[in-house]
Amino acid sequence: MDNTIPQILSDLEIYAEENNIPIIRGPERELLLRAAALVGPEGPKKILEIGTAIGYSALMMAERFPKAEIDTLEIDENRHAMAEDGMRRAGVSDRVHCHLGDAADILRKLKGPYDFLYLDGPKGQYLRELQEIEPKLTSEAVIAADNVLFRGLVRSKESVPHRYRTLVMRLRDYISYVEEKYDTHIYEEGDGLSVSRPKGMT
Ligand SMILES: C[S@@+](CC[C@H](N)C(=O)[O-])C[C@H]1O[C@@H](n2cnc3c(N)ncnc32)[C@H](O)[C@@H]1O
């Protein structure tokens, strides 16, 4: 079996496609890696990802930042098992730690300090998750959050379908918070990726 990271990433991509598992899409991949690289010339030292799925983005970050340690959280047992398997195959299990469970519970137990946070789990929980983890972020930490424009509804002036109202309201709250507290840029590629840095670092 070919256990190089590019091969494993390609296997995960095919599996995700065939099984309808949402993983980071083409144009957003490089954006995410560039956001993580904003931390400094050596890249991030300790990454926290909420929403592992099958480990695609975590493995991609592990490949680009070979010195980084990564904590990644997933609630679905099968996806978590698959992510762990991929990390073992890639020989990175010593520095990519896949945690199984509800992020709301796991977050409290994590130590940090993290210099890159990637929010890609439950979309309605971004603000709560960020506020929980903020005391464990370094002063130069970069925060990325995926899907913040959620199907164009977050910035739309049109009425939001009832079933998405709470989610859209929470994403708007998240954006207001990070725009006020951090230097935040929202990339419109895909479903919207926000990248926030401490004020004055840009
Ligand atoms: C968009 S996917 C993550 C994709 C992954 N970051 C990638 O790009 O390869 C979101 C994941 O978050 C997980 N998730 C949803 N709610 C969660 C929670 N409360 N705690 C932890 N994980 C959760 C879902 O099961 C799903 O696999």
Verify whether ligand 1 is closer than 6 Å to residue 59 (CB atom): no
Element (H, E) at 108: helix 103-109
pLDDT attached to residue 44: 98
Residue 202 pLDDT: 65
122/108 Cα distance (integer angstroms): 16
Q: How far is the CA of 181 from the centre of ligand 1 (A)?
A: 25
For the stretch 141-159, pLDDT in tens is 999 999 999 888 888 888 8
User: 140 lies in which domain range?
Assistant: 5-198
Number of domains in the chain: 1
Query: CB under 8 Å to 48, separation ≥6 — which residues?
Result: 70, 71, 72, 73, 110, 112, 114, 116, 117, 118, 133
Q: Is the pTM of this model over 0.95?
A: yes
Supply the CATH number for residue 63's domain: 3.40.50.150
Residues of the chain with pLDDT under 50: none
Does residue 86 have its Cβ closer than 6 Å to ligand 1?
Answer: no
The one-letter amino acid at 196: S
